[in-house]
Amino acid sequence: AQSVAQPEDQVNVAEGNPLTVKCTYSVSGNPYLFWYVQYPNRGLQFLLKYITGDNLVKGSYGFEAEFNKSQTSFHLKKPSALVSDSALYFCAVGNMRFGAGTRLTVKP
Protein backbone atom coordinates (compact mmCIF):
# COMPACT_ATOMS: atom_id res chain seq x y z
CA ALA A 1 0.00 0.00 0.00
CA GLN A 2 1.11 3.54 -0.69
CA SER A 3 0.77 6.39 1.76
CA VAL A 4 2.09 9.89 2.22
CA ALA A 5 2.24 12.18 5.23
CA GLN A 6 2.71 15.90 5.59
CA PRO A 7 3.48 16.36 9.27
CA GLU A 8 2.86 20.12 9.36
CA ASP A 9 -0.58 21.65 8.79
CA GLN A 10 0.90 25.13 8.66
CA VAL A 11 4.31 26.62 7.90
CA ASN A 12 5.06 30.29 8.44
CA VAL A 13 8.18 31.98 7.09
CA ALA A 14 9.34 35.53 6.54
CA GLU A 15 9.83 36.79 3.02
CA GLY A 16 13.39 36.24 1.86
CA ASN A 17 14.02 33.34 4.23
CA PRO A 18 14.42 29.75 3.04
CA LEU A 19 11.37 27.52 3.29
CA THR A 20 10.87 23.80 3.71
CA VAL A 21 7.60 21.89 3.47
CA LYS A 22 7.96 18.33 4.69
CA CYS A 23 6.70 15.11 3.17
CA THR A 24 7.32 11.48 4.08
CA TYR A 25 6.08 8.47 2.19
CA SER A 26 5.60 4.75 2.42
CA VAL A 27 5.66 2.64 -0.71
CA SER A 28 6.91 -0.71 -1.83
CA GLY A 29 9.30 -0.49 -4.72
CA ASN A 30 10.47 2.69 -6.38
CA PRO A 31 8.28 5.67 -5.62
CA TYR A 32 6.83 8.21 -8.00
CA LEU A 33 6.68 11.42 -5.94
CA PHE A 34 5.02 14.72 -6.78
CA TRP A 35 4.42 18.18 -5.37
CA TYR A 36 1.39 20.26 -6.31
CA VAL A 37 0.38 23.76 -5.25
CA GLN A 38 -3.08 25.27 -4.84
CA TYR A 39 -3.17 29.05 -4.85
CA PRO A 40 -6.23 30.80 -3.34
CA ASN A 41 -9.25 30.51 -5.64
CA ARG A 42 -7.20 28.70 -8.26
CA GLY A 43 -6.84 25.10 -9.33
CA LEU A 44 -4.14 22.67 -8.35
CA GLN A 45 -0.92 23.03 -10.32
CA PHE A 46 1.94 20.60 -10.79
CA LEU A 47 5.26 21.81 -9.31
CA LEU A 48 7.75 18.98 -9.71
CA LYS A 49 8.22 15.23 -9.65
CA TYR A 50 10.75 12.55 -8.83
CA ILE A 51 10.75 9.34 -10.82
CA THR A 52 14.41 8.35 -10.90
CA GLY A 53 17.82 9.94 -11.23
CA ASP A 54 19.20 12.89 -9.30
CA ASN A 55 17.92 13.18 -5.76
CA LEU A 56 17.54 16.95 -6.11
CA VAL A 57 14.67 17.82 -8.41
CA LYS A 58 14.05 21.33 -9.68
CA GLY A 59 10.58 22.56 -10.53
CA SER A 60 8.46 25.59 -11.26
CA TYR A 61 8.65 28.98 -9.52
CA GLY A 62 12.13 28.29 -8.10
CA PHE A 63 11.05 25.32 -6.00
CA GLU A 64 13.09 22.17 -5.59
CA ALA A 65 12.70 18.95 -3.68
CA GLU A 66 15.16 16.47 -2.27
CA PHE A 67 14.46 12.75 -2.45
CA ASN A 68 15.95 10.87 0.50
CA LYS A 69 15.47 7.14 0.23
CA SER A 70 16.87 6.25 3.64
CA GLN A 71 14.56 8.70 5.39
CA THR A 72 11.67 8.08 2.95
CA SER A 73 11.25 11.82 2.58
CA PHE A 74 10.64 14.23 -0.26
CA HIS A 75 10.79 17.71 1.26
CA LEU A 76 9.95 20.77 -0.81
CA LYS A 77 12.37 23.68 -0.55
CA LYS A 78 12.97 27.17 -1.82
CA PRO A 79 16.05 29.26 -0.98
CA SER A 80 14.19 32.58 -0.68
CA ALA A 81 10.45 32.73 -0.05
CA LEU A 82 8.12 35.24 -1.67
CA VAL A 83 4.80 36.49 -0.32
CA SER A 84 3.25 35.14 -3.53
CA ASP A 85 4.36 31.62 -2.53
CA SER A 86 1.61 31.61 0.10
CA ALA A 87 -0.63 28.70 -0.83
CA LEU A 88 -1.65 25.13 0.01
CA TYR A 89 0.97 22.55 -0.91
CA PHE A 90 0.29 18.87 -1.50
CA CYS A 91 2.71 15.98 -1.69
CA ALA A 92 1.59 12.90 -3.62
CA VAL A 93 2.94 9.40 -4.03
CA GLY A 94 2.10 7.22 -6.99
CA ASN A 95 0.10 10.17 -8.30
CA MET A 96 -3.17 9.26 -6.56
CA ARG A 97 -2.35 9.30 -2.87
CA PHE A 98 -2.17 12.86 -1.68
CA GLY A 99 -1.09 14.19 1.67
CA ALA A 100 -3.43 16.31 3.75
CA GLY A 101 -1.71 19.47 2.59
CA THR A 102 0.44 22.12 4.25
CA ARG A 103 -0.61 25.74 4.25
CA LEU A 104 2.40 27.95 3.66
CA THR A 105 2.18 31.58 4.72
CA VAL A 106 4.98 33.95 3.78
CA LYS A 107 4.88 37.24 5.66
CA PRO A 108 6.45 40.45 4.38
Q: Who's near 41: CB < 8 A, 6+ residues apart? A: none
Q: Which is nearer to another protein, 52 or 70 (CB)?
A: 52
Nearest to 104 by CA among 22, 28, 43: 22
Q: Are strands 10-14 and 56-58 parallel, antiparallel or unpaired?
A: unpaired
Q: Nearest CA to 51 among 33, 69, 38?
A: 33
Q: How far is the CB of 44 from another protein (least distance, A)?
A: 4
| Binding characters for another protein, 47-86, by CB under 8 A (x = yes) | --x-x-----------------------------------
The phi-psi region of residue 96 (left if phi > 0; otherwise alpha if psi is between -120 and 50; otherwise beta) is alpha
Stretch that binds another protein, among 19-27, 39-47, 62-70, 71-79 (CB under 8 A): 39-47
Q: Which stretch binds another protein (CB under 8 A): 11-19, 63-71, 76-84, 91-99?
A: 91-99
Q: Where on the chain is the footprint of another protein (CB under 8 A)? A: 32, 34, 36, 43-46, 49, 51, 88, 90, 94-101
